[in-house]
Amino acid sequence: MLVVWLLAVALAGSLITLFMPQQSAKVAAGIIGAIIIGVYVALLMHPGQGVNVRWIPAWGIRFHLGSDGLSLFLLGLTVVMTEIAILASKAEWGRTYYFWILFLEFGSLGLFSALDLFLFYIFWEVVLIPIFFLLTSWSGPKGRRAAMKWLIMNLFGSLFMLIGIVAVAVIHTQPAGPLTFEISQLVNIHMDARVTPWVFAAFFLAFAIKAPLWPFHGWMPDAYGEAPAPVTGLLAGVMSKAGIYGFLRIMLPLFFPEFVQYQTGLLILAVIGLVYGAFMALRQTDMKMVTAYASLSHLGMIALGIFSLTRVGILGATFQMVAHGLMVGGLFIILGLLEQRTGSRDIAAMHGLNASAPRMAAYFLFFALATLGLPGLPGFVGEYLIIQGLVAHEVVFAVIAVIVLVMAAWYMLRVFQGIMQGPDKGQKILDLKAGQVWWIVPLAGLVLLLGVWPNGITAHAVPSLYHAVHLLAAKGGGV
């Protein structure tokens, strides 16, 4: 039941902000975000059954929401990152902005807790809208174009997914199954070998665009670059996980034999993204673009973990989704503050800012180190598990992955040092204010905790993760 409350509070909260005076919308949104975190903590303590009732009986569609080990921490990521995005936003952006942020939270929470495929699809579409409006109205000069690309590419993908969903449901009725969209029941489907590749491709396209995975990232550079920093934080931190989550929640249980069949091709696709993103990040001069392509590279790494089709690799991907969300989200928000204060995103235009903003430099470095996979911080945990999953049978991919880890150290330090260190040329900026330290310290603390004690997530995620991909054990996916 608490899952439903989570969604209800988010939806009601978003509507409440819409009726707030412009100046106090941020405060209201912050309070609502905190209440949602409170509900989430309650959910964490009593992970209940959720709700499962008939919705559109004629089509067998059910209103089925729930949380398990796979989604529980992604719900947590959503509520934490949304609250931080709210706190990092400017009050003068007004009530509509905060309405869309909370509405995005509502959509994301629904996306991560829907257990009926049709309901999942609805939330999948719901999240497109707030991002579209956040991109058009609160973004940089190219915001409209970015929004357009976001909408077109994602609608394109989800159109295919809709076809896939209908196909799966219809095939499931034959020869004698009931019409249903329950994911847990659709798993038992028997598909014709001529149809399966097309259905697989339909889902894959939608998820790969949303993440994005290479080569479906065409919308990403403009959207990440133009969106206000907190929105970029949400896009890279939370929304990118929706695509990956789709692989784990829907595709792996439905199409496990196809994954085995296409494994090499999928691994190659993922590794290209991993390497391609790293090379792009290495040569960017725009600090936000370095992080954007780094994020593309990380998503390639997460995809490698899933496509390794081993328990440990998939566990690594699951862990990395949460870790990456917190780390990259934090990094983008700090870059946004930096952009506000220097008026630039060009690495070459900034020098030695550590002298005037040591706190900002310290947190920047912390999140950069976490993203580059420093052992002791959570990026390393996910990467370790993913590589552990690859060494057994796909050692070539493991070797490429670790080479990219060295590149990550190179490109992240290049940005950090370019901006924060070097001769002091008289450029002065304002350091983090006390109010900003207030939200950044808990975020950093959370990141540190995950690095030192990853078992807090892995031990809980495992049972339902293996339930979700229960076929793995049957098909002999070992360590």
Partner 1 sequence: MQLLVEILLLPIIGAVTITTFKGLMPKKLPGIWASVLVGISFLLSIMADVHLGQLAVSHRMVTGTLWTWISGFGPSIGFRLYLDPLAGIWLLVITGVGMLIHIYSIGYMHDDPGEARYFSYLNFFIFAMLLLVLAGNLIVLLIGWALVGLASYFLIGFWYQRPSAVRAAKKAFVMNTVGDVGILLGLALLYVHYHSVGYGHLFTIFSHAAPGSAFFEWTAFLLYVGAMAKSAQFPLHMWLADAMEGPTPVSALIHAATMVTAGVYLMARLYPLLRLAPDVHYLVGAIGAFTAIFAASIAIFQQDIKKVLAYSTLSQLGYMFLAIGVGGFMAGVFHFMTHAFFKALLFLAAGSVIHALQGEQDLSHMGGLVKKMPWTTFAFLAGTLAISGIPPFSGYFSKEAILGQAYNSGHWLLWAVGVLTAGLTAFYMFRLFFLTFFGAPRDAHLHEHAHEAPWVMTVPVVILGVLATIGGFFKGWLGNWLAPTFSAYPGASHAAFESGPLFGTVITVGLAIIAIILAYWLFLRKHLAPRAGIARGFGRHAYQAWDMDAAWTWIAVNPFKTIGDWVRPVEQGMLSFINGVASAVWLWATDLRPLQTGYVRRYALSIMVGLGALLAYYLIRV
Mark 445-474 with x for binding to partner 1 (rule: CB under 8 A) and - for no binding. Answer: -------xxxx--xx-xx------------
Candidates 229-237, 298-306, 325-333, 406-414 — which segment interacts with partner 1 by CB under 8 A? 406-414
Residue from 405, 440, 446, 469 that binds partner 1 (CB under 8 A)?
405
Q: Cα–Cα distance between 206 and 212 in angstroms, integer?
A: 9
C-alpha–C-alpha distance, residues 149 and 164, integer Å? 23
Q: Which of residues 176-235 bind partner 1 (CB under 8 A)?
A: 215, 218-219, 221
Q: Residue written as tokens 């339902």?
A: 464
- How far is the first Cα of the chain from the last one, in angstroms, to the nearest whole number? 35
Q: Does 63 bind partner 1 (CB under 8 A)?
A: yes
Mark residues 76-115: x for contact with partner 1 by CB under 8 A, - for none: ---------------------------x------x-----
Site for partner 1 in 132-151 (CB under 8 A): 132, 145, 148-149
| Separation CA 432–CA 242 (nearest Å) | 31
Question: By C-alpha distance, which of 159, 299, 281, 200 is closest to 242?
Answer: 299
Binding mask 26-55 for partner 1 (x = CB under 8 A): -------------------------x-x-x
DSSP letter string, 383-443: HHHHHHHHHTT-HHHHHHHHHHHHHHHHHHHHHHHHHHSS---S-------HHHHHHHHHH
> What is the distance between the alpha carbons of residues 428 and 128, in angstroms, rounded to a whole number?
39
> Could you say whether residue 421 binds partner 1 (CB under 8 A)?
yes
Question: Counting contacts by CB under 8 A, is residue 244 touching partner 1?
Answer: no
Using the contact rule CB under 8 A, the part of the chain among 79-87, 120-128, 194-202, 261-269 near partner 1 is 120-128
Stretch binding partner 1 (CB under 8 A), from 21-29, 167-175, 330-338, 422-430:
422-430
- Under the binding rule (CB under 8 A), the answer on residue 241 touching partner 1 is no
Output 121 or 439, the one with its CB closest to partner 1.
121
Return d(Cα 331, Cα 237) in angstroms, integer: 10
> What residues are paired with 63 via a beta bridge?
53
In sign, the C-alpha dihedral spanning 26, 28, 33, 38 is positive
Q: Which of residues 364-403 bind partner 1 (CB under 8 A)?
A: 369, 374-376, 380-381, 383-385, 387-388, 391-392, 398-399, 402-403
Contact pattern from residue 266 through residue 305 relative to partner 1, giving x for each residue in contact according to CB under 8 A and a dash for the rest:
----------x--xx-xx----------------------
Residues 6+ apart with CB under 8 A from 405: 372, 373, 383
Q: Of 74-82, 85-93, 121-129, 186-194, which part binds partner 1 (CB under 8 A)?
A: 121-129
d(CA 159, CA 161): 5
